[in-house]
Structure 1
């Protein structure tokens, strides 16, 4: 089946296949109609001649249609009508000549008879032209749709890569500044660990394909690289809790999806408080839906940001998930009450899918 589709992918092959099948069908109908009207068996030569003439005339007509295809619509219609009239005249004359050679007494005695032959030929040529333009227009539409889908997919891929590679300059600045401070304080071993961690995180960040998904387990491992750098910076001020069920760890998620959310927690809930705070990632699977919550115990959202959150990291996460999952995903941001420990919760809802299912 695939080989057949590949064979007919060529417009020329498709044309000649349909041309041959169509005129063979015309030959069968023409001869059967003649038999139904009591013609002798040797009338087959008239049917064969009519078919051969039609095949040749329409093959030449195709060349004419191809030549006028890219003209403006009005000029193309006028040129097509002219070509159709010329092809009909040629076909009707040659077809009539073939009939008259077989049956001389069949020659019309008046002009109306010749007009009848012309009308019959016009019907055949008009039907052929309608099929030709219909198939050609449908192929053009399919080609344009394919190009549009390809362009849309390319745009989505570029958009995902742009969103994925927007590293927060504050993170890089703060990390490099911390490394500089450690070097000045002669804490070279700690500075070296931070440089190594930063290098590993950036390499993983830039090498991972934003179009591919990874398991949540792999995502948490990548997150640990980032948190390792931040814990060197903040020490005991940064406390991390990871609570993900085994089923949730097998779920597929976009690569480095959690890093910008954790970065927001550290920026707004940890770095601004002397006592630091706790950042938690919790993941469960409920009714074929992967639910991930990123929480902190900081001061919460400003009043004007309730319900949607702000920041480049959160906006990028929303956009990435929207591009990848459409309406099947959800991102909710809220301030937790005192009974829950305060702070902000970002809840992600994604379709649950594992690598084996994908």
Structure 2
């Protein structure tokens, strides 16, 4: 008997937890949350109205009036939501004037309905001689509608701040993930091993000046890659300088097999871009386009401005790859997913990263982002 009782309690607790989870998910939808809070607020108004009526010797029929008045307030305040959506992006003074005007009109209309309900039901069809009496106690109703409006804007601003806070937390999370991933790109053991091996070879063949130059370039590249925050922006000029350092280091390995071409519009050099946004793409191109071909290949970097956008393109003339719906399918391919995450965190939806086949052969990656400089950033 006790076992059955214990099992029943556990089932009840589990059912309550399931119900709570479903209810939480239901309220996560902004539209559902509005209707719940809106209805709960007017129910609370009716409850307070009823409790205050108990202080007076009123007939039971007054409960019907309370219900009708609360329902009328529930209906009259719904259009305010759609009006405030329209004025949401107005200047603060215009928003304030819109709230005062709409609250006043809605409150007066609501008060007229309340007075009619009271006269019709409680006073058996009484009508005042002057029309001004239809708005009696209108100031109280206007204050209720104004309170509804303030709560609406307060809730909306709170939700907006919560979304921004979540975006910041997400951006920080992505930043840490990106930083860890970039360490893998920047400090790739094969890259370091091959570079150090090339330097060692240069020393053995007595090309000390070249070896010293390569050590300097490797040091500068590693310092740049480790010092730069992956969620910060740098000038395109410094980003391209770091990319050139990386490619110069790789040219020691591939010599004439690796050719590089830069085409950069002059008015783009001071544009701001995410740090190390191109290096993972270049690493992919070297791994899948240059290293796999006996004759090597060419990596081309194009930068231009179109309207208010900055356009970056990194292309190779390698054997190409399978591309479906803008996604690149390469075994153990890295770089693109990380770049998308960082661009999404920095620019929201105001960016694009498109992978396509290059002509006559190879792969090209096009990135579009807002054109920003230190002056307007």
Instruction: Write out per-residue CA displacement over residues 250-280 of structure 1, whole angstroms, 9 at most, x where no aligned residue.
Output: 3222221111111111111122233322222
What are the ranges of 5 or more consecutive residues in structure 1 without an aligned counterpart?
1-71, 93-111, 114-119
Distance (whole Å) between structure 2 residues aligned to residue 306 and residue 122 of structure 1: 63
The alpha-carbon deviation at position 208 of structure 1 amounts to 1.9
Please say if residues 179 and 191 of structure 1, whose CA atoms lie closer than 8 Å, have aligned partners that are also in contact: no
Correspondent of 2:271 among 229, 245, 251: 251
The worse-fitting range, judged by mean Cα deviation, of 173-182 and 144-153 is 173-182
The equivalent of 2:194 in structure 1 is 178
The equivalent of 2:178 in structure 1 is 163
Correspondent of 2:165 among 134, 138, 150: 150
Correspondent of 1:292 among 299, 302, 312: 312
Correspondent of 2:233 among 206, 213, 228: 213
**CA separation of 1:121 and 1:147: change in aligned 2, threshold 3 A:** same
Residues 225-236 of structure 1 correspond to what in structure 2 (within 5 A)?
225-236=245-256
Q: Tell me, yes or no, if structure 1 residue 282 matches structure 2 residue 302.
A: yes
Distance (whole Å) between structure 2 residues aligned to residue 136 and residue 122 of structure 1: 22
Instruction: Say which SS state the counterpart of residue 209 (structure 1) adopts.
Output: coil
Distance (whole Å) between structure 1 residues aligned to residue 40 and residue 235 of structure 2: 59
**CA separation of 1:128 and 1:166: change in aligned 2, threshold 3 A:** same
**CA separation of 1:91 and 1:192: change in aligned 2, threshold 3 A:** farther
The equivalent of 2:5 in structure 1 is none
Instruction: Say which SS state the counterpart of residue 328 (structure 2) adopts.
Output: coil
The equivalent of 1:271 in structure 2 is 291
The equivalent of 1:261 in structure 2 is 281
Q: Tell me, yes or no, if structure 1 residue 336 matches structure 2 residue 358.
A: yes
Distance (whole Å) between structure 1 residues aligned to residue 350 and residue 153 of structure 2: 33
Greater gyration radius: 1
The equivalent of 1:46 in structure 2 is none
The alpha-carbon deviation at position 140 of structure 1 amounts to 3.7
The equivalent of 2:22 in structure 1 is none
The alpha-carbon deviation at position 192 of structure 1 amounts to 6.7
**CA separation of 1:172 and 1:197: change in aligned 2, threshold 3 A:** farther
The equivalent of 2:108 in structure 1 is none
Q: Tell me, yes or no, if structure 1 residue 187 matches structure 2 residue 203.
A: yes
The worse-fitting range, judged by mean Cα deviation, of 302-311 and 75-84 is 75-84
Distance (whole Å) between structure 2 residues aligned to residue 221 and residue 227 of structure 1: 10
The alpha-carbon deviation at position 320 of structure 1 amounts to 3.0
Distance (whole Å) between structure 2 residues aligned to residue 303 and residue 316 of structure 1: 19
The alpha-carbon deviation at position 122 of structure 1 amounts to 8.4
The alpha-carbon deviation at position 150 of structure 1 amounts to 1.8
Distance (whole Å) between structure 1 residues aligned to residue 187 and residue 231 of structure 2: 24
Instruction: Write out per-residue CA displacement over residues 44-96 of structure 1, whole angstroms, 9 at most, x where no aligned residue.
Output: xxxxxxxxxxxxxxxxxxxxxxxxxxxx999997876565556678799xxxx
Instruction: Write out per-residue CA displacement over residues 253-309 of structure 1, whole angstroms, 9 at most, x where no aligned residue.
Output: 22211111111111111222333222221222344443322122222x234558542
Distance (whole Å) between structure 2 residues aligned to residue 284 and residue 269 of structure 1: 24
TM-score by length of structure 1 reads 0.57
Please say if residues 306 and 334 of structure 1, whose CA atoms lie closer than 8 Å, have aligned partners that are also in contact: no
The worse-fitting range, judged by mean Cα deviation, of 176-185 and 317-326 is 176-185
Q: C-alpha root-mean-square deviation of aligned residues, in Å?
A: 4.2
Please say if residues 88 and 121 of structure 1, whose CA atoms lie closer than 8 Å, have aligned partners that are also in contact: no
Please say if residues 306 and 335 of structure 1, whose CA atoms lie closer than 8 Å, have aligned partners that are also in contact: no
The alpha-carbon deviation at position 123 of structure 1 amounts to 7.5
Instruction: Say which SS state the counterpart of residue 283 (structure 2) adopts.
Output: helix
The equivalent of 1:309 in structure 2 is 328
**CA separation of 1:84 and 1:192: change in aligned 2, threshold 3 A:** farther
The equivalent of 1:320 in structure 2 is 342
